[in-house]
């Protein structure tokens, strides 16, 4: 038995226009727009750091599973802070320095 699909122009909907916000742009559009910021790619689950239209750093889910500080390390690398001594300040019971 064959199926017949009939076209129905009476049920047309409005033309869909994708929003122009950075969240809805693909990589090429972000590059052209000179995007700077952080973007979470919901398809690949990667966290991307962009600067002036260039994807500078990508932190994958696997990176985070191997190293919970992968995002922090990515920022350190991008900002040239790798290898700089980290100083932790611990407060006594009084809560004063």
- The 10s digit of each residue's pLDDT in 1-12 is 566 666 666 666
Roughly how many angstroms between the first and final C-alpha of the chain, as a whole number? 83
Place of tokens 């611990």: 90
Q: What is the mean pLDDT of residues 61-75?
A: 92
Distances in whole angstroms, Cα of residue 61 to Cα of each of 5, 44, 51, 74, 75: 44, 9, 21, 13, 16
Report pLDDT for 63: 95
**pLDDT, tens only, 49-66:** 999 999 999 999 999 999
Distances in whole angstroms, Cα of residue 85 to Cα of each of 64, 65, 77: 22, 24, 14
Report pLDDT for 79: 87
Band of pLDDT at residue 91, cut at 50, 70 and 90: low
């Amino acid at each position: 038995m064959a199926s017949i699909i009939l076209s129905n122009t009476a049920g047309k909907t409005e033309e869909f226009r994708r929003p122009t916000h950075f969240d809805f742009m693909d990589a090429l559009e972000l590059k052209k727009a000179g995007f700077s910021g952080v973007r979470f790619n919901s398809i690949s689950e990667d966290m991307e750091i962009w600067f002036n239209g260039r994807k500078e750093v990508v932190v994958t889910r696997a990176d985070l599973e191997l190293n919970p500080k992968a995002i922090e390390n990515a920022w350190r690398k991008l900002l040239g802070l790798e290898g700089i001594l980290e100083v932790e300040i611990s407060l006594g019971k009084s809560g004063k320095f």
